[in-house]
Structure 1
């Protein structure tokens, strides 16, 4: 392709930022990143935002290369035939290639009362609202956490460590993504924090009320605050744009992350799906898919055949409050094994993983052009957000 190549990246999470920075390093490629917020969200720290131990945001000036144009707006439709993206603010962006990196959020559980009475911690706004609710609730007010995946475990421990009474409703099993041997230190840590764990038959939530939740065996769990962490969904942008998606709404791609409908559209992160090569929706996957998506585009620009993406997983790191954590190791194909690290060492590993991930983004930004104050030169800005502050803790910016 001759002349300047225009690439639009839709979504400024881990996948979108890493893709944008990789693309912006290439001469002759102009990159525009569209994101609904003027800050980068450290999603792996949102449970900390809920309790005030971290603000979970970084300036795009830190993580996004100065050669990347930042547009603060929301994409509403992709016109693949015309190669245009429509924005909620009324503008359109033309592209030669597009990176689809819209991420994921909280799923609608379809449980009566959940939308009205439950709170979420899967996005910045949800975590901020939850923090306000917890701050306003009396110290004696009990909290119910629904879902015992990584987000549920981290949230339950984080809230319990503040001294609140917490009940964790697991559904079938505590930590279903963990090896049975690694679940044991998780259970011990939760017990020391005073968390009541409900699991097994009958521990499915059938209704959320203003006073707590009801389970399918008839039990009622009383709680002033209910936090729902079970399940994720992706935005319907791909389906709304007439692109093929899977049953969860993720853009269907081949093994080069290219849309099955259009070779000019490449996915990165939670909102893409390779049907024959499934991967876990996670930050760990997104930071690999972002550069891979960029390489697919760069190879096509150079007239070369893109290579299939190769995913490598090392495990899962969970913080269980500020002082302890668990690291679950896995085989490269993401199948967990019986090896784990717990206690303070586990918390340290989680903190290292968080800082390393952010450090990689900052490093990628430096390679993608001189640092700029993106907040000063964006094309449009939302209503100014409240100032975010990090609360000191015994481990600084803790895991």
Structure 2
């Protein structure tokens, strides 16, 4: 008697960033899976290059046709709700996508706080494509000596400030706490010296009380002129999980177990910046995105095969911050992402950072050619408490 042919399993990947795109490619390890990738934009946004795009020193997009493997259906739309009972993803266009499994890969967004008067109206984030386009257009209209303020002393803020300062712009970097808190003391000194040489006014342990169209009001009450204010202090996540009735952490990341499976529904697997395994998410970064994307795909494939999925196993190796186009700092770290007192700096790091940026897309394309082939460092541990949200957006 012939064995009944099982219908193809439908997997909908919600989000086409680093983690979601790699996961979609890796799912092609099985021939009996149909894969739909939902993304609000028709092009891939290379987010770790947005500071270059804003400053006009590089591009930050890629064609999905060069990234996705054969058979993946790209749907340009926005998911507004996941119906876990009907197993459908409702799109903004009104269309419903049926799924057997959904990969939740919505990524992260800007986090301009409503609690700071004028910030939402007068500051622009660099975390997403549309605000980055506005920033680039505004910069093109500003006089070269116009004062610019970057709010946020993490790696994202440092990269933005450095990119603009290298072009001769007048930049103030407001840190809130200390400069580059995720780096070792020696690496922070290297970053500080570079910024000082390039005329960046670094204000540590200084907050922002308000943002005006032409000025930033500091926590001690002083107002500094600012023709353009860039907000680079922290990241948030889309509210799709909460809107779908799924449990989330404090900023909206989907709560999962250690296999990245939702604690509420075993047909939903999260990945990337929007995943909170055991309520202890990894640092939001491109460095973690590829391993998380691979883990999510492997969890789905294991569930389809009826075998037990493996638990998350990933180790950080440090971080790298670019300082303009000709310098940078490479911080080495323990596998749990705590900084070692070892770093490199200078032009060699600029070349290294460019290589790591290229690797982000290279890994996705490698999975498109050979699903299941991308490796990653393992053996790391995560802190018992979540990483602070204000530091979570540091780029790798």
Q: Mark yes or no: TM-score above 0.5.
A: yes
Aligned with 1:329: secondary structure? strand
Aligned with 1:171: secondary structure? coil
Q: 2:84 aligns with which of 75, 80, 84?
A: 80
- The aligned counterpart of 1:351 is 354
- Aligned: 1:317 with 2:320: yes
- The aligned counterpart of 1:338 is 341
CA–CA distance in 2 between the matches of 1:224 and 1:292? 44
Q: 1:13 aligns with which of 13, 17, 20?
A: 17
- The aligned counterpart of 1:328 is 331
Contact 1:119 1:228 in 2 (8 A): yes
Contact 1:329 1:336 in 2 (8 A): yes
Aligned with 2:272: secondary structure? coil
Q: 1:135 aligns with which of 130, 136, 140?
A: 140
Aligned with 2:273: secondary structure? coil
- The aligned counterpart of 1:193 is 198
- The aligned counterpart of 2:31 is 27
- Aligned: 1:253 with 2:256: yes
Contact 1:154 1:320 in 2 (8 A): yes
- Aligned: 1:4 with 2:8: yes
Q: Post-superposition shift, 1:104?
A: 0.5
Q: 1:124 aligns with which of 116, 122, 129?
A: 129
- After TM superposition, the runs of 4+ consecutive aligned structure 1 residues lying more than 6 A away are none
CA–CA distance in 2 between the matches of 1:103 and 1:278? 13
CA–CA distance in 2 between the matches of 1:83 and 1:63? 27
CA–CA distance in 1 between the matches of 2:92 and 2:203? 43
Summarize the alignment of residues 299-310 of structure 1 with structure 2, pairs less than 5 Å apart. 299-310=302-313
Contact 2:184 2:341 in 1 (8 A): yes
Q: 1:52 aligns with which of 34, 41, 56?
A: 56
CA–CA distance in 2 between the matches of 1:161 and 1:96? 50
CA–CA distance in 1 between the matches of 2:305 and 2:368? 23
Q: Post-superposition shift, 1:276?
A: 5.2
CA–CA distance in 2 between the matches of 1:278 and 1:107? 17
- The aligned counterpart of 1:394 is none
- The aligned counterpart of 1:236 is 239
Q: Which whole-Å deviations, capped at 9, do the CAs of 1:43-96 have from their partners, x for residues lacking one?
A: 110000101111200000111112211000000000001100000011110000
Q: Which whole-Å deviations, capped at 9, do the CAs of 1:304-336 have from their partners, x for residues lacking one?
A: 111101011111111110110111111111111
Give the structure-2-normalised TM-score: 0.91
Q: Post-superposition shift, 1:367?
A: 2.8
CA–CA distance in 2 between the matches of 1:24 and 1:111? 46
Contact 1:311 1:333 in 2 (8 A): no
- The aligned counterpart of 1:183 is 188
Summarize the alignment of residues 261-272 of structure 1 with structure 2, pairs less than 5 Å apart. 261-272=264-275
- The aligned counterpart of 2:111 is 107
CA–CA distance in 2 between the matches of 1:104 and 1:356? 20
Give the structure-1-normalised TM-score: 0.90
- The aligned counterpart of 1:284 is 287
- Aligned: 1:41 with 2:45: yes
Does 1 or 2 have the higher relative contact order (CA < 8 Å, sep 6+)?
Answer: 1
Q: Which whole-Å deviations, capped at 9, do the CAs of 1:174-212 have from their partners, x for residues lacking one?
A: 001111111011001101111010112xx1001000112
C-alpha RMSD of the superposition: 1.4
- The aligned counterpart of 1:149 is 154
Q: Post-superposition shift, 1:348?
A: 1.2
5+ unaligned residues in a row in structure 1: which ranges? 369-398
